[in-house]
Amino acid sequence: MNHIMLVRTVALGAMASVALGAYAIDTEPPPLPPGSARVQVEPGQSKEENERMQRAHEPHAPSQHTKDYTHDDTAGTDQIVAPPLPPGSTRVRVEPGQSPEETRRILRAHRAPKRNHLKSKPSSPIGSPS
Amino acid sequence: LNNSLLRLFAIALVLSTTLGTNRAQAQTPPHVLILYDAPPSTEFEKLGFGYAIMLKNLIAHFDTDAELMPVHEYVAGKMNDYDATFYLGAYYDNPIPSALLADMAVSDKTVVWFKYNLWKIAWDAQYGFAQKFGFNLVQLRGLNAEPTSQNPAPGFFDTVSYKGMPFVKYYAYDAARNEVHADPDIGVVSIVDPAKASALVNITNPTTAESVPYVLRSGKFWYVADLPFSYIGPRDRYLVLADLLHDVLGVEHATNHRAMVRLEDVGAMVSVQSMKTLSDYLWTRKIPYSIAVIPKYVDGLGVYNGGVPETVPLEQASNLKRSLDYAVARGGEIVMHGYTHQYGDIVNQTSGVSGDDYEFWNMTTNSPVAEDSTEWALGRYNAGLADLENNGYGTPVAWETPHYQGSALSSRATTQVFNATYQRVVYYTADTPDFNAAVSKDFTLGQVFPYVIKKDYYGQRVLPENLGNIEYDISDIDPSSHFTYTWQDLQLNAKYALTVRDGFASFFFHPFWLEPDLGTPGFQDFKSLVDGITNLGYVWTSPSALVN
């Protein structure tokens, strides 16, 4: 054994004894539970959470990449958002033109009274009753 | 009279000094030391270090930059320099310096001991542990029996009850390999003096109907029976620790539940109609929101362009600009989500196309990309920032790493150009990790945060995303899209997050779910989720409100 090796051995021995003294006296540990040898511990997120995280950031359909990026799919549909319809709107039936009353009124107005019709009726070939 | 005046003056002086000291203490973040097992020349030398990184990140919520140290480097008296010392017992029967045990036995500082090796102090008579702290370690418990193909799930203490919610620990059994993917071991303690020790949280073994302390406190000494940094998720017992850290560190944050929503992966191919619909809805509901923007579209291999590589810079991405103009005018805040959200002209996981692939991590080799460096990452960040600036969108409020995974260097580089990141984060136990080393292998640490982290392990301010996102099974259109994650799942996650006193409900949503060809009830479910989170009592906020 040369001098350098001797010094190194002594130094290592001294370090080892210091190190041993620095640690707690070996208390008998409790036994590990059954199945411990088969347990694989992974720090961080669970496998499912990692997969979900990865999946969340992937594409979901080829169409996501095959669009015309210049064609606005809202073109021609831009509108100011309309105010909501009032209550009962769904039951409303709209008819163009005059109200039914007015129509009836006009019809009525232009309809000759039955009496007039009678008056205008051609005379009986046998002549006026009067 | 003179004596009385002097006495009054002295009392006033003492009072003002005391009050001043208390105020100063309230404003001074606690000094924290995290000690971890690092058994040399073993496969799991760095496991404890990984846990220490994750704990350091959580503690950064309290404005504290905790110091990490392998437990074998501890020297006598070191813990006196800190307000709180955490020991992470990650390695069964790892040697612990007697100086640490002696200091812990007499310290008047906060000590938190996790999981293994408590017997080294509790069962060594010289420390008088049970007499001093009023509890003792009884045994270790894990699986109730060896798992087999006939009995793949023999059960264990897996349900932590906290604030009325059951936090169930992860478990999966790989019958082919006869491997258990779980972290079932706990230290079982018993209270011998209820005047000194009390169980704050219990954990239950549903198979045997046993219940034992999960978190126990004796004065300033805390024992956590588990190491809650493995297999974590939005409903995991990890949240229990995230909340209890307020009590451990004595930093009381007021109950404050905030919510955030981010429209995700918004790039050149976005549907203007979908973005307008979502923007209108959120704007009308007065809900702040953000948009994760990919500034530059690249199809490096021409996968969707007849084999011809295609690039769409922001100035030509007219639909993207229409969408952003519309959203920004309605309160949307821009988050930069990568520069191209893909890497070069290779398939880096899926296709080489923007939105599909990793940008700052080589997923094919599970390592940093060849060019990985601070300068390379900064070059991409600055290119994206310039694109946004030159097109009139100013400076984004935050950064979000594509697929939430970048290299250590690229994560650190974000701090040079962004005020915050808005994401979950993947950490590593080395900047250039070796995950397959037989000795001292490295670990990937995916971490989700329930609250704002002021300065994480890489120096980033992290705004939380902790609920996930709505997913549908559209495997008839895209065979790989078979995940289902409903709005009810996310709402349940939000319910768990309420157990953290200042926990967030933060989620993201892909606008493409509104597109008719997918045939999903995306918009209706989005609205249901917004209502569901609101009904839980969360108040909606924006990333910009959390940056400063």
Asked whether residue B279 carries a pLDDT value surpassing 80, the answer given is yes
SS3 of residue A71 by DSSP: coil
Asked whether residue B58 carries a pLDDT value surpassing 70, the answer given is yes
Partner A contacted by B58 (CB < 8 A) = no
Token couple for B319? 């639909």
Looking at residue A105, its pLDDT comes to 56
- How far apart are alpha carbons B517 and A21 in whole angstroms? 72
Alpha carbon separation from B243 to B66, B162, B252, B257, B455 (Å, rounded): 18, 10, 10, 13, 18
Asked whether residue B81 carries a pLDDT value surpassing 70, the answer given is yes
Q: What mean pLDDT do residues B59-64 have?
A: 97
Give the B window 117-136 contacts with A, CB below 8 Å: 117, 119-121, 123-124
* Shortest Cα–Cα distance, A3 to chain B (Å): 29
pTM of the model as a whole? 0.86
- How far apart are alpha carbons B420 and B427 in whole angstroms? 16
Closest to B404 in 3D by CA, of B454, B445, B443: B445
Give the A window 11-30 contacts with B, CB below 8 Å: 22-25, 27-30
* Shortest Cα–Cα distance, A98 to chain B (Å): 39
Residues in chain B: 548
Alpha carbon separation from B347 to B219, B259, B362, B405, B480 (Å, rounded): 56, 35, 10, 16, 16
- Report chain A residues whose CB lies below 8 A from the CB of B515: 63
Cβ of B172 and A62 within 8 Å?
Answer: no
Looking at residue A54, its pLDDT comes to 80
- How far apart are alpha carbons B276 and B261 in whole angstroms? 16
Looking at residue B479, its pLDDT comes to 80
Exposure string of B394-412, with b = 16+ CB inside 10 Å and e = fewer, is eebbbbbbbbbbbbbbbbb
Asked whether residue B22 carries a pLDDT value surpassing 60, the answer given is no
Token couple for A41? 């511990």
Looking at residue B130, its pLDDT comes to 98
C-beta atoms surrounding B253 within 10 Å: 14
Are the C-beta atoms of residues B528 and B486 closer than 8 Å to each other? Answer: no
Per-residue pLDDT of chain A (130 residues; tens, 9 = 90+): 333 333 333 333 444 444 445 786 678 999 999 999 999 999 999 988 988 888 776 666 666 777 888 888 887 665 555 666 677 766 666 666 666 666 565 555 544 444 333 333 333 333 333 3
What does the DSSP 8-state code read for residue B36? Answer: E
Q: What mean pLDDT do residues B393-400 have?
A: 98
Please give the share of chain B, as a percent, with pLDDT higher than 90: 92
Q: How far is CA A129 from the centre of its chain?
A: 85
Looking at residue B348, its pLDDT comes to 95
* Shortest Cα–Cα distance, B496 to chain A (Å): 16
Q: What angle do CA B535, B538, B542 make, to 5 degrees?
A: 130
Q: How far is CA B128 from the centre of its chain?
A: 37
Closest to B132 in 3D by CA, of B107, B95, B97, B99: B107
Cβ of A24 and B96 within 8 Å?
Answer: yes
Return the minimum-mean-pLDDT range out of A90-99, B145-154, B304-313, B436-445. A90-99
Cβ of A59 and B356 within 8 Å?
Answer: yes
Cβ of B231 and A71 within 8 Å?
Answer: no
Looking at residue A11, its pLDDT comes to 38
Alpha carbon separation from B495 to B389, B491, B512 (Å, rounded): 39, 6, 27
Partner B contacted by A60 (CB < 8 A) = yes
Looking at residue A5, its pLDDT comes to 38
Are the C-beta atoms of residues B32 and B248 closer than 8 Å to each other? Answer: no
Asked whether residue B274 carries a pLDDT value surpassing 80, the answer given is yes
- Report chain A residues whose CB lies below 8 A from the CB of B444: 44
Cβ of A24 and B481 within 8 Å?
Answer: no
Closest to B460 in 3D by CA, of B421, B430, B429: B421
Please give the share of chain B, as a percent, with pLDDT higher than 70: 95
pLDDT, tens only, B123-174? 999 999 999 999 999 999 999 999 999 999 999 999 999 999 999 999 999 9
SS3 of residue B447 by DSSP: strand
Asked whether residue B240 carries a pLDDT value surpassing 60, the answer given is yes
Mean pLDDT across chain B: 94
Give the B window 141-180 contacts with A, CB below 8 Å: 141-147, 154, 156, 170, 172, 178-180
Token couple for B201? 């949280």
- Report chain A residues whose CB lies below 8 A from the CB of B232: 44-46, 49
The alpha-helical segments, DSSP class H, found in B329-429 are: 374-390, 408-417
* Shortest Cα–Cα distance, A65 to chain B (Å): 6
Are the C-beta atoms of residues B355 and B365 closer than 8 Å to each other? Answer: no
pLDDT class of B475 with cuts at 50, 70, 90:
confident
Looking at residue B548, its pLDDT comes to 72
Looking at residue B480, its pLDDT comes to 76
Looking at residue A113, its pLDDT comes to 41
Give the A window 91-120 contacts with B, CB below 8 Å: none
Query: B113 CB contacts (<8 Å, ≥6 apart)?
Result: B87, B89, B104, B221, B222, B223, B224
Of B272, B273, B350, the CB nearest to A58: B350
Q: What mean pLDDT do residues B214-230 have?
A: 98
Looking at residue A61, its pLDDT comes to 66
Asked whether residue B6 carries a pLDDT value surpassing 70, the answer given is no
Sign of CA dihedral B274, B276, B279, B281: negative
Cβ of B271 and A67 within 8 Å?
Answer: yes
* Shortest Cα–Cα distance, B351 to chain A (Å): 10
- Report chain B residues whose CB lies below 8 A from the CB of A37: none
- How far apart are alpha carbons B443 and B449 in whole angstroms? 19
Cβ of B271 and A73 within 8 Å?
Answer: yes
- How far apart are alpha carbons A39 and A32 in whole angstroms? 11
Partner A contacted by B47 (CB < 8 A) = yes
Cβ of B140 and A64 within 8 Å?
Answer: no
Return the minimum-mean-pLDDT range out of B45-59, B343-357, B410-424. B343-357
